[in-house]
Amino acid sequence: MEDTINHFKLGFVERIYMEEYFKIFITPKIKAAKSNKPKYGYCWRICGEKSAGHFHLFWECYIVSSFGEKVVSEIRSVISSEIDFNFSVVYLGNLPPELNKQDRYLLQISLAGCKKAKTTKWVSDEPPTLSE
Ligand SMILES: [Zn+2]
C-alpha cells in the first residue's frame, strides 16, 4: 500500500481514501501472508498473478482492466475533452482541469459506477459488464 501511495504522490484526502479502501478489501496477497501459504496468493480471476494485491485486483489484472477501458471509452464518446486512461484519473479522481462542470460531473458519476461495479464483483473471476 505504501508503494502505491508514494508512487502516486497522494494528498491527504486521497491517502485516507486509499487506506480505508485497502482495509476493507482483503486480497489473496494478504491471505497468503496471514496464512503463510503462498498458494493462497494467486489472483482469483485466474490470470496467473501469484501475489495479487489491491493494485493488481483493481487495476493491473488484465481481466478486469478491460472493463475499465470500456467505461473510459464510453465516457470519451460522450464528453468533449480527451481523458487519459490511468490510475490517477480513474481511481484517484485527478481529472483534467480543462473539463467543464457538466463533463466533470458526468465523469465523476461514471467512474464511481465503474468502481462500484468492480467492488460488487470483488471475489468473482468474471469482470463486470457495462450494463452492471
Ligand atoms: Zn489477475
**In the chain, what are the domain boundaries?**
2-120
Residues with Cβ < 8 Å from 65, sequence gap 6 or more?
A: 59
How close is the Cα of 79 to the center of ligand 1, in Å?
30
How close is the Cα of 48 to the center of ligand 1, in Å?
6
Cβ atoms within 10 A of the Cβ of 29, count?
A: 22
pTM of the model: 0.71
Residues with Cβ < 8 Å from 76, sequence gap 6 or more?
A: 82, 83
- Asked if 92 and 14 touch (Cβ cutoff 8 Å), the reply is yes
How close is the Cα of 59 to the center of ligand 1, in Å?
9
Predicted confidence (pLDDT) at residue 19 exceeds the cutoff of 80? no
pLDDT of residue 8: 63
pLDDT of residue 2: 53
How close is the Cα of 60 to the center of ligand 1, in Å?
7
pLDDT band at 110 (very low <50, low <70, confident <90, very high): confident
pLDDT band at 48 (very low <50, low <70, confident <90, very high): very high
- Asked if 62 and 47 touch (Cβ cutoff 8 Å), the reply is yes
pLDDT of residue 50: 95
85-101 mean pLDDT: 84
How close is the Cα of 90 to the center of ligand 1, in Å?
18
Cell triple for 124: 468473482
Cβ atoms within 10 A of the Cβ of 131, count?
A: 5
94-108 mean pLDDT: 87
Average pLDDT, the chain: 82
